[in-house]
Homo-oligomer: A and B are copies of this chain.
Amino acid sequence: MKIDDGQRFFSIFSAVGPSAVAGESPVEHHLKLRVRYHEVDGQGRVHHAQYLNYFERGRVEMLRELGHSYKEMEASGLMLVVRQMTIEYLFPAEFDDELTLTTRVEKSRGARIQHRYRLLRERDQQPIVAAASEIACVDRQGNVRRLPGWLQQPS
């Protein structure tokens, strides 16, 4: 739980992750976003809660690129719920900024998926936020369920 200042989260993101070690190509998705007016707060910057919505969109679009629909997954009775989220805010994004979100699956086994996120400002590659989340698969009653096969990483 301690976050060591000398060991910045962002650097971890770009490091070689476990999936890469295993010789698999890590699942990574890139999404362009433009900051909308209502996402900005009274400081003229993207409100810090807003980035979680960007990450969510990254996960949905990554699934779509892999040929799956999160909407259909929910319709089938399985939901993905966020269990843990850690965000480092590195630099403020502003209204109308074009951003690039990289969403990466770090690990996907059993009932859980670990993602990492990196958000850069497009024009100069300025890092904006870096984040990690753990997501669990549950059914409509909230019981933990194994991820569908297509969401499991080969072991």
List the interface of chain A (C-beta within 8 A of B): 1, 3-4, 7, 9, 12, 36-38, 40-45, 47-50, 52-53, 56-57, 60, 69-71, 74, 79, 81-89, 92, 94-96, 132, 134, 142
Contact present for B84 and A96 (CB under 8 Å): no
Contact partners of A44 in chain B: CB under 8 A: 42
Contact present for B83 and A56 (CB under 8 Å): no
Cα of A36 to Cα of B58 in the assembled complex, Å: 10
Contact present for B56 and A37 (CB under 8 Å): yes
A48-B82 contact in complex given A36-B56, A69-B96, C-beta closer than 8 Å: yes
Contact present for B89 and A81 (CB under 8 Å): yes
Majority secondary structure, A binding face: mixed
Cα of A88 to Cα of B49 in the assembled complex, Å: 15
6 closest cross-chain pairs (CB), A and B: A49-B52, A40-B42, A71-B96, A48-B82, A86-B86, A38-B53
In the assembled complex, 26 residue pairs joining A and B whose CB atoms fall closer than 8 Å, in A order, are A3-B86, A3-B134, A36-B57, A36-B60, A37-B41, A37-B42, A37-B57, A37-B70, A38-B41, A38-B49, A41-B41, A41-B42, A42-B44, A43-B81, A48-B85, A49-B50, A49-B52, A60-B96, A70-B96, A71-B94, A71-B95, A81-B89, A84-B86, A85-B87, A86-B86, A92-B142
